[in-house]
Amino acid sequence: MLKYFTINTVSELICFGVALFCLFKDKSNAWRFFIVYLLVTCIVEILGIQCRKVWHTSNFMLYNIFVVLECTTISCFFYYLYKQYQYKPIWLIIWLVVFFVCYGTEMIAEKFSNFVFETTTLMSIIFVLASLNFYYLILKDEQFRQLSNYAPFWWVNGVLFFYFGSTACNIFFDYFMEDKSLISGSVRYMIFNIIDIILYCCWSYSFICRYRQRTLQRLSY
For residues 3 and 211, which has the higher predicted lDDT (pLDDT)?
Answer: 211
- The answer to whether residue 38 scores a pLDDT higher than 90 is yes
Checking 9-12 for CB contacts under 8 A at 24+ apart, the result is: 9/42, 9/45, 9/46, 9/49, 11/196, 11/197, 11/199, 11/200, 11/201, 12/38, 12/41, 12/42, 12/45, 12/196, 12/200
Q: What is the pLDDT of residue 67?
A: 97
Task: Note the pLDDT tens digit of each residue in 136-155.
Answer: 999 998 888 899 999 999 99
Give the amino acid at 181. Answer: S
- What is the average pLDDT across 110-128? 93
Whether the model clears a pTM of 0.85, i.e. scores above it, the answer is yes
Q: Looking at residue 176, what is its pLDDT?
A: 52
| Nearest by Cα to 44 from 29, 31, 63, 61 | 63
Could you state, in order of their start, the residue ranges of all structural domains in the chain?
Answer: 2-216
Q: What's the mean pLDDT in 7-28? A: 95
Q: Yes or no: say if 127 and 79 are a contact pair by the CB < 8 Å rule.
A: no
pLDDT the model gives residue 19 = 98
pLDDT at 183 (0 to 100):
44
